[in-house]
Amino acid sequence: MDLSILQETTKDVKMLEKELQQLQFQMYRMQENMKDISKKAKIIGIDQAKEDEWMIVSAIESADTCKIMLSDCEKAFRGQSDFSLIAEYPEEGKIHIADIKGPPDNGYGSICMKHLKEIAREQNIPVITGDLVKRDWNHVDRLIHFYEKHHFEVQINWKEQSGEIYWVDS
């Protein structure tokens, strides 16, 4: 057998062993985090973000609000989620996105949006709305892209530095 093939195979085995250890650790952390998170919130899913890290998706709902939160499984849960989407129920048949908090460009917003739409469908709520405000203006292009990717209509008033988003379940 060629020595280079044997060395390459050994590298592949070591890499696979390392990946397996990382997955086992993530699974252990996921179990522990889910126990802690479920004391205060409802676990509604487990999803993978852009970089393949596993995220626990949880929600806290009341009569007039819904908060969807993400917590990653790489570290211990210490009472704070890593990302959240906060929505309100301003009137019958409508959800209004009040705020999205957390780091951009990790796929976290897409995970939250997917689960918000699932909640809307479960509750027979056909409309999701939201506002773009002045504090969003330094990243408004990214927000427009995000909402359009999720099939929202986006209306922008460039002069006033404001906008509205609108989604109807079809």
Q: What pTM did the predictor assign?
A: 0.86
Q: Which of 22-26, 29-33, 62-66, 90-94 has the lowest mean pLDDT?
A: 22-26
pLDDT of residue 24: 86
Give the pLDDT score at 81.
Answer: 94
pLDDT at 3: 63
Burial 135-158 (b: 16+ CB within 10 A, else e): ebeeebeebbebbeebebebeeee
DSSP states of 101-147? ES-SSSSHHHHHHHHHHHHHHHTT--EEEEEE-GGGGGGHHHHHHHH
Query: Would the pLDDT of 6 be above 70?
Result: no
pLDDT band at 7 (very low <50, low <70, confident <90, very high): low
Confidence at residue 5, expressed as pLDDT on a 0 to 100 scale: 66
Which pLDDT belongs to residue 32?
93
